């Protein structure tokens, strides 16, 4: 199938100031290069090994976003090149990212993932845990990460009101955390995917993560 260039251009036109992360998980390097040639620079991947492999074959000015669930013991593999780690879901992970970033003399941007969906299976902090993590972060002054904002995934449901409520909730927490932290770098609210990004933007998202609309459906069993 490959990249849908006209859909990509349409989305870019719609987004305005909202940042697009093109989610390229399980898609080949050729598709990423095709989108790169259309001007896209931010790409999102879910698997450590896959992102690490792809990165060696692609231009160095790509900003790689890790958007999957990351285990602490794997941070070291992506620390040399990753731009932003979305989906940080524990303080332990944040501290490990800081340590590995320091080893590489880098600063890695991080988003804390908040659990906003009804489904138990999704990862992320609840509100209390998030407050605690941010308080800890303020004490520790982790110098090699930049805490850039929050990320969340809404429920996988046809119920648009439910999705809207969840995004509204995340936006509210984002504002609270922003005043708690009082640092201008905390400015990214990553919410919205192929199926719900219009609602997410309505509710205040400034970064969307879109895969299948641009790259086509993902077929996992080849
Ligand atoms: C796969 C994935 C996306 C993109 O999903 P699409 O529905 O293909 O747009 C966005 N965010 C996360 C965290 C993902 O895992």
Q: Residue 88's domain is classified under what CATH number?
A: 3.20.20.10
CB 93 within 8 A of CB 70: yes
In-domain check, residue 219: no
**Nearest C-alpha to atom 13 of ligand 1 is from which residue?**
67
In-domain check, residue 221: no
In-domain check, residue 195: yes
- Is residue 221 scored above 80 in pLDDT? no
- The HSE-up count of residue 140 (CA atoms within 13 Å, CB side) is 19
Number of structural domains found in the chain: 1
Query: What is the number of the ligand 1 atom nearest to the C-alpha of 193?
Result: 9
Query: What is the number of the ligand 1 atom nearest to the C-alpha of 215?
Result: 8
CA 138 – ligand 1 centroid, Å: 30
In-domain check, residue 220: no
Q: Is the beta carbon of 208 within 6 A of some atom in ligand 1?
A: no
- Domain containing residue 134: 5-213
Burial class (CB in 10 A: 0-12, 13-18, 19+), 205: buried
Residue by residue, DSSP assigns 68-108 as S---GGGHHHHTTT-SEEEEE--HHHHHHHHHHHHHTT--E
In-domain check, residue 73: yes
Percent with pLDDT over 90 in the chain: 91
CA 192 – ligand 1 centroid, Å: 9
Asked which of 50-54, 59-63, 119-123 is least confident by mean pLDDT, the reply is 119-123
Picking from 116, 72, 77, 78, the residue whose alpha carbon sits closest to that of residue 94 is: 72
SS3 44: strand
- Is residue 67 scored above 70 in pLDDT? yes
In-domain check, residue 208: yes
* The predicted structure's pLDDT at residue 1: 64
* The predicted structure's pLDDT at residue 220: 73
- Dump pLDDT digits (tens) for 4-50: 999 999 999 999 999 999 999 999 999 999 999 999 999 999 999 99
- Helix spans in 85-221 (H): 91-103, 127-140, 160-181, 197-202, 212-215
In-domain check, residue 218: no
**Nearest C-alpha to atom 15 of ligand 1 is from which residue?**
68
In-domain check, residue 26: yes
Query: What is the number of the ligand 1 atom nearest to the C-alpha of 21?
Result: 10
CA 64 – ligand 1 centroid, Å: 14
Mean pLDDT of 73-79: 98
Greater confidence (177 vs 182) lies with 177
* The predicted structure's pLDDT at residue 198: 97
- Is residue 123 scored above 90 in pLDDT? no
């Amino acid at each position: 199938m490959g990249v849908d260039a006209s859909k990509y251009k349409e989305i870019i036109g719609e987004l305005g100031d909202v940042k697009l992360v093109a989610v390229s998980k399980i898609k080949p390097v050729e598709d990423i290069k095709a989108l790169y040639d259309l001007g896209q620079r931010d790409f999102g991947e879910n698997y450590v090994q896959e992102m690490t492999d792809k990165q060696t074959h692609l231009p160095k000015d790509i900003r790689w976003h890790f958007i999957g669930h990351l285990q602490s013991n794997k941070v070291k593999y992506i620390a040399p090149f990753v731009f932003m780690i979305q989906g940080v879901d524990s303080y332990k992970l944040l501290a490990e990212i800081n340590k590995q970033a320091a080893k590489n003399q880098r600063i890695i941007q991080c988003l804390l993932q908040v659990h906003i969906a009804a489904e138990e299976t999704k990862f992320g902090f609840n509100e209390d845990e998030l407050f605690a993590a941010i308080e800890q972060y303020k004490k520790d002054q982790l110098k090699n990460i930049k805490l850039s904002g929050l990320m969340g995934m809404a429920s996988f449901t046809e119920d648009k009101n439910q999705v809207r409520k969840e995004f509204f909730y995340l936006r509210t927490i984002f504002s609270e955390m922003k005043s708690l932290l009082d640092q201008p770098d905390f400015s990214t609210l990553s919410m919205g995917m192929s199926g719900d990004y219009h609602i997410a933007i309505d509710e205040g998202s400034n970064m969307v993560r879109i895969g299948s609309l641009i790259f086509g459906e993902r077929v996992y069993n080849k």
